[in-house]
Structure 1
Amino acid sequence: MLIPKGQAIHEHLSTSFTHIEQLVEGLRKKRFSGYCHLSFWEYDGIAFFHEGQIVNAQEKIGMQGTQVQTGDLAIAHFLEKAREKDGNISVYQLAATTVATLMAAMNVTSKYESLSTDLTSLDRLIALLQKEHLTGYIEILLEQEAGIANLFFANGGLIEILLASPDDMIIGESTTIGELNRLCQEVGAVFNVYQTTDIAGQAQEGSQTKAVSPQMIKLFEAILARLESATNALLKEGGFQAIFKTILPQIADTYPFLDPFIGDFRYVNGALSFEGNTPAQEFVTGMCEAINATIKTLLQSIPRHLFLAQLSRHLESVATEYADLVDQWQFEMRLPEIFRDYTFLQDTENDAEAIQKGLEVRKVLNLQGIGFSEIDAESILKEFYRVMALIVENHTELEGKTIAYAQLKKSREYQQYQTAIAFLQQLGLASLKTYHDRLAFWINLYNFLVIDAVLKSGIKTSVQDVKSFFMKASYRLGDYVFSLDDIEHGILRNNQCKPYSGLQQFQATDPRRQFCLAPLDARIHCCMTCAAQSAPPLAIYTPQGLDEQLDRAVTRYLLNGGMRFERTTQELWLSRTFYWYRKDFENGGRTFLDVVLQALRNHDIGRELQASRAKLTVRFMDYDWKLNGK
């Protein structure tokens, strides 16, 4: 995605003489909207500011900028990189509404792909998107190395047109439809259309005059109460209030409603009251700044890993109870320290570190030679399913919960499996004709690739012992290589971002996007066995009767370790999988609790939970990553 250049505030400052913390603090005080552009050899980073807050970042790493990431990890790495010497940093101002548009455009799904000028024209495409009221953008890939262009839309209105040369694929200059039409006709082009999935930008457009809702007051009351509870448990009673009261006057010049002498805002004994007429946007921004400043001060006295891990657990119920507001107002981005799960984040950071270092982390496990063979796709799949079934039958216990890894490694079935996966190199994925053909195949492939990687990596205690395990373990299928992350987040989750990451698994030009499965079926999360004690049991899934198999998988997982019910406290404890992927389960207006109750409707525990639903408190269990076998 291209960024408009904007008005230059500072250009080409040397990072050797620029203190990034001071620069960021100065921009915060000025409530700056725009971006900082950081450049090094083989690195370009953009940090976006909205009214003084860093709200996102985008990084391109490598000679061609082929490695791209966004989100919290990109922000952290941008700030770390800015402390290094011999880089350049520039600051450009944009309208706050432009920043909001760019942020929305960073969270998109594909609408149309690879439309060439042989099939349509730019004018016709724009007319179509205006009729469809697109909010998103067109990416134009000009042929003959003539550069790229982006056209940004909001509710069908064309609001920005940018063009970049091949030498600068980040910052775009304003241009006209006439100039783009001329270039497209002269050199040819390919159009990709992306539609935003983020409604926060739309919500914020009207929030300058929108009043603060009672639900928003309750949300911040819940956040502060849990922050106070976590703080006092690690410091002393009253420790949170003592620090919070010193923070409010420090930022009251920028956000007057927080001035304790005015009395619009009060937080005492876990209760928040607000009687002012501050617009919702200003209220949310000011409250988030106060909370972030409080956390920053607290981390000077409390070990970071201890405090944030505990705090994020306290916020789980808030994230689920106020899910719509959390998503609408981008609280995972505004309050990055607390609205994320540090158990999951540890692996994400490991993966990001590997990406940042430009490491080739894939380890393709099925490159055995098979010589010349004319075996057809049907025979390849038939043998693959046959051997998998034998492994489940002969080398698992407790209905698939435990895998006899040492026994399997020495078995004849494992040798047959090696032959079967070698032939997958010849499998044309187009031979998977139906949605159920594809869904069953990819679930099975994921599960058995995990098992194969455990054995070939020599893992004895946990897959977490191998850094970036889910990025490394891969199979070749036809012309393409797929890692475990590619299969899960790219194929099975229809190219959704990994939790707590703003980066889609497959980028716009990745040919593997053609294999993504739509619609996303959240039941997969109760089928995918990641070699952990807390994972669902191993089973074989077949295209015939797949719907019924997936329903049974959800029920089986819940009744065999995926949940527990504390009757005395009316607490329903669910697998952490339901928390990490709650947005997947909530497609179609359902909640993950709806999914659980539906799966258990024919069981006594399900009927009991349904009768107690109004009183239930949903909690999430720790995820046990110990190996699910020996």
Structure 2
Amino acid sequence: MKMKFVKNCFSGGELVEALIHHLDCGRRKAVEIGKKLARKHFIHHVFGENEFEDGNHFYRFLEHEAFIPKCHNFRGAVNDCEPKAAAAVSQRLACIMSAILETYASDDRSHLDYVGISNSEEFRRYVILVEDLQRINLLSLSYDEKLAFFLNLHNAMAIHAVIRVGDPGGMIDRRFFFAEFMYVVGGYPYSLSSIKNGILRSNQRAPYSLVKPFSSGDKRLELAFGKVNQPIHFGVWNASRGSPSIRFFTPQGIESQLRNAAREYFQRDDGMKVDLAKRIVYLPRMIKWYKSDFGQDKEILKWIINYLDASKAGLLTHLLGDGGSSVNIVYQNYDWSLNS
């Protein structure tokens, strides 16, 4: 048997005894209180293996979880207020971040003034707001609400990460940026990578990674989407110049908003180009990284037609249907420089 050592923990029985003593209640009532504390993420089983039980299972307070020091929406103590409704917090987050874009983003949302954002009243309110995410109940969200929430959270966290960590650098350096900058949300840690690959991409491996974000039994799997919705790739923003432009979404009409984001991206020269003479289609490297989400080459090209303007769609349709030699795909270089 492999032995594991854990710190800052207590047994279920010890908590029950403490509750009986301090609240002057019976054992059954104390156990119910313990279960409520666990459901509301004040305490967790040390290995996440079970709900609260009276006995020898061990638990710890949320603030003693090993991931907490990495969570940038935790400032010394758990927010012990009754959690606000997830939909209301999500809406407030989107409103604050949209106001930030209104003032501190370029007209095409391709550049941000990070210094201005960091000193703004809106960002101060955002930093306070995200503390409300610590014990929020995300299972109450509808599909569209959940999709908008995680897209918006990812993009807002990326802004926060640049302000706190600085320029994340190139692709290799950004691994820390994507994986180590975290929030505690609904009692569990979320990085930029776990939001994109674990939640939005249905727990698929990140490019060049050997493991999935969430292992079997991870509570966060309850929130992962059942299948990949390809346009989400154009709603996720990563603070680089090669990224789709930053935006924040509303649950109402979110599929239409994502389609518009994809169309906007493919309008760019680094998004998609066609060379009829050479029978080459130039695509964003992002599609190569996430090819498992888009399918084989022919499937990719047919899918893209739906997101092109009339000119580009006409060129691509001609290439695919003229009976000539095969169409070659070239993936363009990606600009990892900061979009400041």
Secondary structure in 2 aligned to 1:599? Answer: coil
Superposition deviation, residue 565 in structure 1: 2.6
Superposition deviation, residue 462 in structure 1: 5.1
Q: Residues of 2 paired with 1:361 and 1:425: CA distance? A: 10
Superposition deviation, residue 473 in structure 1: 1.1
Q: Match for 2:328 among 609, 617, 621? A: 617
Q: Residues of 2 paired with 1:462 and 1:408: CA distance? A: 23
Task: Give 1:409's aligned residue.
Answer: 118
- Structure 2 vs 1, CA of residues 426 and 598 (structure 1 numbering), >3 Å: closer, same or farther? same
Q: Residues of 1 paired with 2:184 and 2:146: CA distance? A: 16
State the AA in 2 paired with 1:383. R
Does the Cα contact within 8 Å between 1:459 and 1:465 map onto a contact in 2? no
Secondary structure in 1 aligned to 2:134? Answer: helix
Task: Give 1:505's aligned residue.
Answer: 213
Residues 569-594 of structure 1: CA deviation (Å, up to 9, x unaligned): 2321111111111110129x971112
Task: Give 2:104's aligned residue.
Answer: 395
Secondary structure in 2 aligned to 1:437? Answer: helix
State the AA in 1 paired with 2:113. A
Q: Unaligned 5+ residue runs, structure 1?
A: 1-61, 65-142, 144-358
Task: Give 2:315's aligned residue.
Answer: 608
State the AA in 2 paired with 1:608. L
Q: Match for 1:535 among 222, 243, 259? A: 243
Secondary structure in 2 aligned to 1:366? Answer: coil
Secondary structure in 2 aligned to 1:426? Answer: coil
- Structure 2 vs 1, CA of residues 590 and 520 (structure 1 numbering), >3 Å: closer, same or farther? farther
Q: How does 1:211-250 map to 2 (within 5 A)?
A: none
Task: Give 2:70's aligned residue.
Answer: 363
Q: Residues of 1 paired with 2:123 and 2:102: CA distance? A: 13
Q: Match for 2:199 among 483, 486, 491? A: 491
How many residues of Structure 1 are paired with residues of Structure 2 in the alignment? 272
Q: Residues of 2 paired with 1:462 and 1:419: CA distance? A: 30
Q: Residues of 2 paired with 1:597 and 1:586: CA distance? A: 14
Q: Residues of 1 paired with 2:188 and 2:168: CA distance? A: 30
Superposition deviation, residue 519 in structure 1: 2.1
Does the Cα contact within 8 Å between 1:454 and 1:463 map onto a contact in 2? no
Q: How does 1:311-350 map to 2 (within 5 A)?
A: none
Q: How does 1:138-153 map to 2 (within 5 A)?
A: none
State the AA in 2 paired with 1:510. D
Higher RCO, 1 vs 2 (CA within 8 Å, ≥6 residues apart): 2
1:426 equivalenced with 2:135 (yes/no): yes
CA root-mean-square deviation = 2.7
Task: Give 1:270's aligned residue.
Answer: none
Q: Residues of 1 paired with 2:3 and 2:244: CA distance? A: 41
Task: Give 2:22's aligned residue.
Answer: none
Q: How does 1:109-508 map to 2 (within 5 A)?
A: 363-368=70-75, 372-374=80-82, 376-377=84-85, 378-432=87-141, 434-459=142-167, 464-465=172-173, 468-508=176-216
Superposition deviation, residue 371 in structure 1: 5.3
State the AA in 2 paired with 1:580. W
State the AA in 2 paired with 1:598. N
Superposition deviation, residue 408 in structure 1: 1.0
Does the Cα contact within 8 Å between 2:241 and 2:337 map onto a contact in 1? yes
State the AA in 1 paired with 2:106. E
Q: Residues of 1 paired with 2:147 and 2:165: CA distance? A: 27
Task: Give 1:147's aligned residue.
Answer: none
1:598 equivalenced with 2:327 (yes/no): no
Superposition deviation, residue 546 in structure 1: 1.2
Sequence identity, in percent?
29
- Structure 2 vs 1, CA of residues 408 and 462 (structure 1 numbering), >3 Å: closer, same or farther? farther
State the AA in 1 paired with 2:154. Y
- Structure 2 vs 1, CA of residues 590 and 546 (structure 1 numbering), >3 Å: closer, same or farther? farther
Query: What TM-score does the superposition give when structure 2 sets the normalisation length?
Result: 0.73
Q: Residues of 2 paired with 1:489 and 1:63: CA distance? A: 32
Q: Residues of 1 paired with 2:93 and 2:67: CA distance? A: 28
Secondary structure in 2 aligned to 1:591? Answer: helix
Larger radius of gyration: 1
Superposition deviation, residue 420 in structure 1: 1.5
Q: How does 1:540-559 map to 2 (within 5 A)?
A: 540-559=248-267
